[in-house]
Amino acid sequence: MRIKYKNRALQFNLFFGIVWLAFFGLKLFFAENMHWLDYGWLIISAAYFAIYFYHKKYAYRTIENGFLNVNGPFGKTLNLTEIKRVKKFAGDYILKTNNKKVTIHTFAIDPDSSAALNEALKELNVEWE
């Protein structure tokens, strides 16, 4: 099961990638000479586009084969059978094992994925706080 990002979060990154690229294009078109710092707008734009495509391709979290995968550059893997407690605090889920803790921020989750996540967490026989 893929827990996807909200479309609004994806569109935010795409929008700002386009805005920074437009600033760079305007500077490139209208400026007589470019300073090396002006290329920073191109780098910022590329970063926003990279984040957009990364979030589009990889889900926020993934639950497969009994494991919860935290997708990201320093992602974690959590065995669902090792989860001891689930805490719901301020709309977030905090999953705790004996030596790991993973937080799932629900404000970043697509509503359809949020319903599927709730069902998956209720299937676990763990202590809820």
Same domain, residue pair 48 and 90: no
Residue 15 sits in the same domain as residue 51: yes
Same-domain status, 81 and 105: yes
* Average predicted confidence (pLDDT) for the chain: 89
Name the residue range of residue 119's domain. Answer: 62-128
Domain with residue 104: its CATH number is 3.10.50
User: SS3 for 88?
Assistant: strand
Q: Average pLDDT of 107-125?
A: 87
Q: Which residues pair with 96 in a beta bridge?
A: 85, 101
- Top mean pLDDT of 26-30, 47-51, 62-66, 99-103 is at 47-51
Tell whether 70 and 50 lie within a shared domain.
Answer: no
CB 60 within 8 A of CB 5: yes
pLDDT at residue 75 greater than cutoff 90: no
Q: What is the pLDDT of residue 52?
A: 95
**pTM higher than 0.85 for the full model?**
no
Q: What is the 3-state secondary structure (H, E, C) of 7-74?
A: HHHHHHHHHHHHHHHHHHHHHHHHCCCCCHHHHHHHHHHHHHHHHHHHHHHCCCEEEECCEEEECCCC
Same domain? 29 vs 66? no
pLDDT band per the 50, 70, 90 thresholds, residue 54: very high
- What gap in Å lies between CA 54 and CA 51, rounded to an integer? 5
- pLDDT at residue 19, rounded to an integer: 96
Residue 20, pLDDT above cutoff 90: yes
50 in the same domain as 9: yes
Looking at the structure of the chain, the number of domains it has is: 2
Query: Is residue 126 very low, low, confident or very high in pLDDT (cuts 50, 70, 90)?
Result: confident
- Residue 40's Cβ-side half-sphere holds a number of Cα atoms within 13 Å equal to 4
* 68 and 100 share one domain: yes
38 and 66 in a common domain = no
